[in-house]
Amino acid sequence: MDIGLAGASALISASTRGLGFAIARGLAGEGARVAVSGRTQAAADKAAAEIARTTGAQCAAFAADVGKDGDPQRLVDQVVSRFGGLDVLVTNAGGPPAGGFSDIGDPQWAATVDVTLMSVVRLVRAALPYLRKSGRGRVINVVSSSVKEPIDGLILSNSVRLAVIGLARTIAREVAADGITVNNVCPGRIMTQRIIDLYGDEASIAKAAQQVPMQRLGTPDEFAAMAVFLAGTTASYVTGQTIVIDGGLTRSTF
């Protein structure tokens, strides 16, 4: 099925590895021109080269720290300068550190707000004028299943990521008449470095996998497929939604 991404321009933040990389590769596989970003130019160059090699798509690479004020605007401007416009924005950033309420001080809260919430605010603000010109703009935020069911020991993720959901739901209504959709995709237990960091060893990871109804962890490509669908023109009537990709693990009804 052609989902209407051929020739579209897409920016995926924090996309040198893991879920961001899988989404960038998935979009490129559908014919989109993709802009990969990471904290270092070397990492971005490597990821973009790999995607271009395996998909044949046009790829660009940019260094940016999306948690730093000024970098999101600069990143969007660079992508538009390279591609001549922007159709798809995927906001992504590294997960907040683990810890309970008593473990986390003000510096960690402030840093998490900058990286997890304000990066989305700044990226969307910078991208909106170009998404409006596109006539088919898409905003897709990579969040976490913790917004549906809080996860023990992840107080920062449980708290700050919910602000992204409220932000996205509000923006979705404000820009719907412009043909822009805004949605959130929420990974559960997907096999990435984040899972390794959280669970620590193979035995713990295996136990975590057995707790999933499907009896396994998901793959980045399985997660990316939902983001790629939402980026396409065939998903033009889907907006304001928060979709969990977790093999059935989350117990929340809504």
> Measured between alpha carbons, how far is residue 95 from residues 103, 107, 165 in Å?
16, 16, 15
pLDDT at 91: 98
pLDDT tens for each residue of 179-210? 999 999 999 999 988 888 888 889 999 999 99
Give the CB-side neighbour count of residue 26, counting CA atoms within 13 A. Answer: 26
User: Residue 131: what pLDDT?
Assistant: 98
**Measured between alpha carbons, how far is residue 71 from residues 124, 140, 169 in Å?**
12, 19, 24
Residues of the chain with pLDDT below 50 are none
Residues facing residue 181 across a β-bridge:
138
Q: Which two tokens stand for residue 43?
A: 């990492």
This prediction has a pTM of 0.96
- 240 contacts: CB under 8 Å, gap ≥ 6: 168, 169, 172, 173, 182, 183
Q: What are the extents of the domains in the chain?
A: 9-188+221-242
pLDDT given at position 195:
87
- What is the reported pLDDT for 244? 97
Q: State which fold the 9-188+221-242 domain adopts.
A: Rossmann fold (3.40.50)
Helix axes 18-29, 220-231, angle to 10 degrees: 50
**200 exposure class (CB count in 10 Å sphere: 0-12, 13-18, 19+):** exposed
